[in-house]
Structure formats: structure tokens, C-alpha cells
Amino acid sequence: MKVFVKGLNTCPQRNQKMDQYLTFLRGNGHDIVATAEESDSILVWTCGFRGDVRDNSLEQLSAYNADHKGKVIATGCLPQISPTLLAETFDGDIVAWTDEAVEMERRFGTGKLSLAEAESIYTKAALCTDAAQFRSDNPEADAIFHDQFLQLMIAEGCPFKCTYCSERLAFPRFRSFPEQDLIDAAVAKMGETGHYDLMLIADCLGEYGKDTGTSLAKLVRRLAEIEPRMRAAFSNFHPLDFFEDLDNYLALIRTGHIHHLNLPIQSANDRVLKLMARQYSKAQIEHCFGRLNQLGFTEFDTHVIVGFPGETDEEFEETVDFLLTYRPKHVLLSQFMDCEDAAAGRLPGKVTPEIMRRRSDMAEARLREAGILCNNEGSELIQERLRRLNQASQL
Ligand code: SF4
């Protein structure tokens, strides 16, 4: 069968799924084709962590379905994040991530390779040294900050229960990948590419090893012992995990073996953090970010949710003041998405889209004025990212 595979995932983690799908399909004798027109079947990995990317996935699915009725299969995160919306918009075949082994093998299996056997430790060579420059030189290509690094996926799923999170509805059980396999894969890839800036990726990075008796700090130390030129970057690093092992991480920053941190605070107001079930306090993040500032470490960024249910203007301003005090290099502002099965969707005090927009614009203006880079939902930068994502080829 000729299969067209399209990943609409906005995160680097799910590129591992795309790789696994391609290996599985090829291993069962199917041809992967470059366009939907050439295909007998179209597999689309959908994304829905935020309203704009969810709507993008729905629009793209509808467009594929209009042109190729009966051939389109929606996989990935949306079947569990927004099942009702998906069923209302799309009348093709739907395969939820949690059922995918059975469903993919039923549709594409020929007994030669199971989906589980097609999984391997995911590494990806760095695409560029400057993603913005790369995008400017390649107007059709999709490149994000992570593409400046060699990438290594170390765990999947998330054991936390944040009330706003739509992704955890789709994730399979949290699991860390074996430490020695990760080290072998990373060292081999660094040797092969001569690139030593390593982005560790996971849905919840700081939980790495808690299910297997090791830890993220230990993994980084072992990698640094084997390859002293290695500089790790962390994505999706929960501030609670940072707080709980702070001295070990600061020691790795001092030796230069941690080079970049993505620490999504989501809010800096204690009442809102509690409603979000983030499990840390403002005092704890002040302590962590303060220690980074004292060290003179500037390579860290964060994410903030705008308009969580019940959040007041003053509470949001408290978050903006926190950002202006501790000065992350980059801030991603996402407006609260009312996800049908997430607990926060049932909270009172919904903030209107107009207020969310006003708060986002105010935050963006204040952060930019202070020289802090800011990505605001709905911005031209994000529209451009989705355009490139929609066009990019999986091959
Ligand atoms: S919903 Fe989250 S985990 Fe799923 S593809 Fe989108 S960004 Fe990745």
C-alpha cells in the first residue's frame, strides 16, 4: 500500500512517533509517498495542546478529507483531547493514541513487524545553528528552537495532574527509557555529527528515572563523564522537579553541562497555581529563578497561561511582574484552552476571549519593552509556524 504520513505535532517529542510509524509501515512492506495525491491511505498525527493548534489540525484534516474521502485516518492527540469536536468536524477513520498498537496493526500489519518492535531510542541530528536564520534561508522549511540541538527523547507521558492540561488526556502511561540505551544513542550521535549541544526531550523531563531508579541529574552527569564537550538543554522541565534537586542542577550549570532550561511556570500567583494543581508555590519559583539570576545564567525560558478560570487582572499582572523581575530569555504566552475533559474546564469564572487577548497583548508589550523575547498566541510568528508545519514533508 502507498501511505502518506503527515505529522501536525507542534512538539518535537512526537517526531519519535512519526519515526516509529514510518519504520512500522516500511517494515510491513508499505511504500511511504511524498504527497497525499499518490497515496492509498493518509495518516495524520493531530495536535491539540492549545486552541490555535487544535483548530489547525481540524482544518487540515477537513482539507485532506475533502480531497481524499475514505482514505484519511486521524491519529495522535486530538481523539482524546477533543473527541466531540473531532467527531463533529471529521467523518473519517479515528485511531486514538492509546489504542494505536491494535488499530495500526489491524490496518497495516502484515505480521512482519509489530508497532512495538518499530520503536527505538529517538535521536535527531541538529538541523541548523540558528533556527531563525534557517527559516529565512529556507522559506518552506519548518525549523524551531529545538532544531538547533541534537535531540534525544528520554521519556514519554507525564505523571502530574495539572488541571488545565489537555495533553495528559492523550498520553500513554509515563515511562523513562533505559539509561544505558540513551547514553549509547547520544554518544553515538554526538560522535557521528560532531555536535555536542544536546536537547533532552520528554513530556515531563524532570520526572526522568523516577520509575526506574535513576534521575535526570544522574543521566546528565554520566553523559558529561563520557563526553565532556556535551552541553545539555532541557525542555518541559517542571519547576517542582528543578526545586527538588536544585543543588545538583546548579552544579551542572556551573560546570557548563547544562546550557539551557525550559521551565514552564504557567503562573506566579499562588491561588492560580493551586487551582492549576502545579504543586509548587510562588516562593519556590522565586527561589529557583533567583538562584539562576545569582549565577548569571541567562539561558532559560518559560511558558505562561493567560486567563486561567477565575484569574483576575491583578493575579495575571503578578505573573508579568515575576517575569520582569527574573527575566527569562523568552516567554511563550498561551491563552487558556477550554478542553472538554480537563478538570479546569469545570471551574467557574471563565475569562472571556477579549480579556485574554487584552492581557496577552499587555504582557507582550511590557516584556518586549524590557527586552524579553515573547511569543504570543495568534502572533504572526505562530501563524507562520503553522503554515510551515502544514507544508513540511515527513520524508
Ligand atoms: S497535543 Fe501536545 S503531545 Fe500531542 S502533538 Fe500536540 S504538542 Fe505534542
- Per-residue pLDDT tens digits for 121-161: 999 999 999 998 999 998 888 889 999 999 999 999 999 99
In this predicted structure, the answer to whether residue 374 has a pLDDT above a threshold of 90 is yes
pLDDT over 80 at 55, yes or no: yes
What separation in Å is there between the alpha carbon of 297 and the centre of ligand 1?
Answer: 29
C-alpha cell at 89: 468536524
Identify the pLDDT of residue 146: 93
Nearest protein CA to atom 7 of ligand 1, as residue: 11
- Domain borders along the chain are 2-108, 121-137+144-258, 263-395
Find how far residue 150's CA is from the centre of its chain.
16
Q: Are 273 and 282 in contact (CB under 8 A)?
A: yes
Residue 311 clears pLDDT 90, i.e. is over it = yes
Higher pLDDT, 267 or 342: 267
Q: Tally the C-alpha atoms within 13 A of residue 381's C-alpha that lie toward its C-beta.
A: 12
- The tens digit of pLDDT for each residue in 166-178 reads 898 899 999 999 9
How does the average pLDDT of the chain come out, rounded?
95
Q: Which of 16, 58, 61, 167 to mutate to test the pocket of ligand 1 (most atoms within 8 A of CB)?
A: 167
CB 204 within 8 A of CB 238: yes
* Residue 254 reports pLDDT greater than 90: yes
Distances (CA, A) of 392 to 84, 138, 139, 141, 203: 28, 11, 11, 6, 23
Greater model confidence, 370 or 391: 370
Q: Which DSSP helix (H) or strand (E) runs through 386? A: helix 380-391
pLDDT at 390 over 70: yes
Q: In the predicted model, what is the mean pLDDT of residues 26-53?
A: 95
pLDDT over 70 (residue 64): yes
pLDDT at residue 139 in the model: 85
Please report, as a single letter, which amino acid is at residue 275: L
- Residue 395, pLDDT > 70, answer no
- Calculate how far, in angstroms, residue 125's C-alpha sits from the geometric centre of ligand 1: 21
Percent of the chain with pLDDT over 70: 99
**Residue 369 in this model has a pLDDT that exceeds 90:** yes
Report how far ligand 1's centroid is from the alpha carbon of 247 (Å): 31
Closest ligand 1 atom number to CA of residue 9: 5
- Third-level CATH fold of 2-108: Rossmann fold (3.40.50)
Q: What percent of the chain has pLDDT over 90?
A: 89
Model confidence band, residue 377 (pLDDT cutoffs 50, 70, 90):
confident
Residue 81 CA to ligand 1 center (angstroms) comes to 10
Q: Give residue 296 CA to ligand 1 midpoint distance, Å.
A: 33
Please give, one letter per residue, the 3-state secondary structure of 303-352. Answer: EEEECCCCCCHHHHHHHHHHHHHHCCCEEEEEECCCCCCCHHHHCCCCCC
Q: 121-137+144-258 maps to which CATH number?
A: 3.30.750.210
Domain 121-137+144-258 and domain 263-395, same fold? Reply is: yes
Residue 52 CA, ligand 1 centroid: distance in Å: 12
Q: Whose alpha carbon is nearest atom 8 of ligand 1?
A: 11
For 263-395, the fitting CATH number among 3.40.50.2000, 3.40.50.970, 3.30.750.200, 3.40.50.10490 is: 3.30.750.200
Residues with CB under 6 A from ligand 1: 9-11, 13-14, 47-49, 76-77, 167, 170
The count of other CB atoms within 10 Å of the CB of residue 299 is 16
| E-only strand ranges, 212-327 | 231-234, 258-262, 300-306
Model confidence pLDDT, tens digit, residues 91-114: 999 999 988 999 999 999 999 999
* Distance between Cα 76 and ligand 1 center (Å): 8
Instruction: Inform me whether the pLDDT recorded for 223 exceeds 80.
Output: yes
Which residue owns the Cα nearest ligand 1 atom 3? 167
Nearest residue by C-alpha to atom 6 in ligand 1: 47
Q: Which of 38-52, 301-315, 363-377, 381-395 has the lowest mean pLDDT?
A: 381-395
Ligand 1 pocket mutation pick from 6, 13, 55, 56 by most atoms within 8 angstroms of CB: 13
191 pLDDT above the threshold of 80: yes
Confidence of residue 226 (pLDDT cuts 50, 70, 90): very high
Distance from the alpha carbon of residue 58 to the mean position of ligand 1, in angstroms:
14
